[in-house]
């Protein structure tokens, strides 16, 4: 389970991913290695917290729920080891059925303990934010601690990567209501399970997902890495968020270009 050792999911798991649009690979990573990486990675996340020093009453609802920091691999060698690991990138290539994988970007999503109501993550799809020409992109959700049910593990709507209703809306209370209604009307099964340290979930960019509040007393420490087909092309942005993502995560590129800026190294096969 060394980070440098590639992983090939079984045929049954690959079939399940194609059907459901998400999968959790149990014990994909070594818990002991994650325990070694977590302190340095978390220190970088807290140093980069954009809400540090902002009074609680002045924070948005989202900022009261999350510490969100992007490109953590540029801030921490521990994060870089995780983000650039051949084990994760090879699994992403197998799941997407592509020969090469590039990094889109990484971000930490540390969900804060929430007292009372609030702190949930509304139903949404990630690819709403990404100027990508195809659906060959996947998010790896990598807990750095055990995530029992009271800490708010991800909830997926299995098979929802084929649903088009709600793809045009950003994460919000509106997306929660609209997507929840569409998923219920479509009869999509909802899947939520706790994570043990070392478990990693992967979901396609169009797979609908949400999460309940973190009702524990500890931070839900999670790293995410977005991987894309090494032959991905940049799409013309269709909303303001995609314009921002193009500038930030695909610097210097234009629609039609290969999504291969200096910020998007090839991670599989490793160069």
Domain boundaries, the chain: 17-250
Average pLDDT, the chain: 93
pLDDT, tens digit, 9 for 90 and up, residues 180-220 = 999 999 999 999 999 999 999 999 999 999 999 999 999 99
CATH architecture label of 17-250:
Sandwich (2.60)
- Could you tell me the pTM of the whole model? 0.94
pLDDT, tens digit, 9 for 90 and up, residues 76-106 = 999 999 999 999 999 999 999 999 999 999 9
pLDDT, tens digit, 9 for 90 and up, residues 110-150 = 998 876 445 788 899 999 999 999 999 999 999 999 999 99
Q: Minimal CA–CA distance to 142: which of 231, 208, 51, 78?
A: 78
Q: From residue 239, how far is each of 131, 172, 232, 246, 260 by CA, in Å?
A: 9, 15, 19, 11, 21
Q: For residue 135, count other CB atoms closer than 10 A to its CB.
A: 15
């Amino acid at each position: 389970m060394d980070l440098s050792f590639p992983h090939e999911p079984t045929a049954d798991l690959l079939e399940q991913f194609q059907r459901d649009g998400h999968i959790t690979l149990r014990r994909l990573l070594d818990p002991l290695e994650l325990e070694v990486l977590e302190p340095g990675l978390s220190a970088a996340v807290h140093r980069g917290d954009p809400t540090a020093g902002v009074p609680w009453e002045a924070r948005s609802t989202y900022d009261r729920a999350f510490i969100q920091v992007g490109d953590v691999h540029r801030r921490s060698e521990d994060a870089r080891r995780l983000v650039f690991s051949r084990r994760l990138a090879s699994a992403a290539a197998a799941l997407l059925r592509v020969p090469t994988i590039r990094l889109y970007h990484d971000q930490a999503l540390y969900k804060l303990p929430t007292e009372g109501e609030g702190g949930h993550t509304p139903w949404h799809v990630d690819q709403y934010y990404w100027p990508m020409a195809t659906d060959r992109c996947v998010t790896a959700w990598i807990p750095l601690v055990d995530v029992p049910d009271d800490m708010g593990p991800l909830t997926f709507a299995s098979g929802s990567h084929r649903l088009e209703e709600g793809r045009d809306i950003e994460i919000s209370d509106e997306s929660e209501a609209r997507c929840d209604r569409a998923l219920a009307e479509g009869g999509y099964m909802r899947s939520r399970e706790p994570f043990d340290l070392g478990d990693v979930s992967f979901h396609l960019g169009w797979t609908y997902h949400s999460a309940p509040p973190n009702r524990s007393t500890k931070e839900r420490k999670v790293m995410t890495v977005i991987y894309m087909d090494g032959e991905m092309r940049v799409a013309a942005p269709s909303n303001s968020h995609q314009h921002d993502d193009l500038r930030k995560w695909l610097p210097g590129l234009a629609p039609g270009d290969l999504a291969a800026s200096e910020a998007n190294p090839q991670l599989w096969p490793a160069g």
